[in-house]
Amino acid sequence: RFFMGMPSIGIYSYELYKEYQVEDIIRIGSAGSYDAELEIFDVVLAESAWSESSYGKTQNGDISEFRYPSIFLNEKLKATAELKKINLKVEKIHSSDVFYRENNVDNYLAFRKKHDVKCVEMESFALFHNAQVLNKSAACLLTISDSFVSLKETTAKERQDSFTNMIEIALEVNL
């Protein structure tokens, strides 16, 4: 399935966990880098997701700004990456509700400084929240598709053909 944003993954993950008794969800997707050390095509495993989103507050009153993946799933994903000899960078990530920001609000530099987040995507916070609420497991693997620092971007063809490392890790993880 293709998800875009927290409301979409929020609905799908909640229903998969609650209605279909799914125990583990591994999200894979693209991210924009906030840090020069995260380059195009790097694979990132989320150690936490920070968000300014109201998703948790609206869903169950939780106002925490950070959500966390399953330690068990993350350890399994790290082990799989190591076996496959794929370099995996474990980082704090930013889950944003907004793709385009105006100049009068905080930008990636402020987020990186205030919250120590290294890249941005749009779904993991809601996924991790739902997993926590329903006592399930979730993890997130990302491939860096563009950089706010170097301004490099991948093409649609590169994203189609070159984001295979995260997919291989996710498909070959031994649960």
Q: Which residues are catalytic, by number?
A: 146
- For the chain, the maximum distance between any two Cα atoms, rounded to a whole number of angstroms, is 46
DSSP 8-state code for residue 38: S
Tokens encoding 84 = 């496959």
Phi–psi pair at 141, nearest 5 degrees: -110, 135
DSSP annotation of 29 reads E
Answer for the pair 46, 124: CB distance below 8 angstroms, yes or no: yes
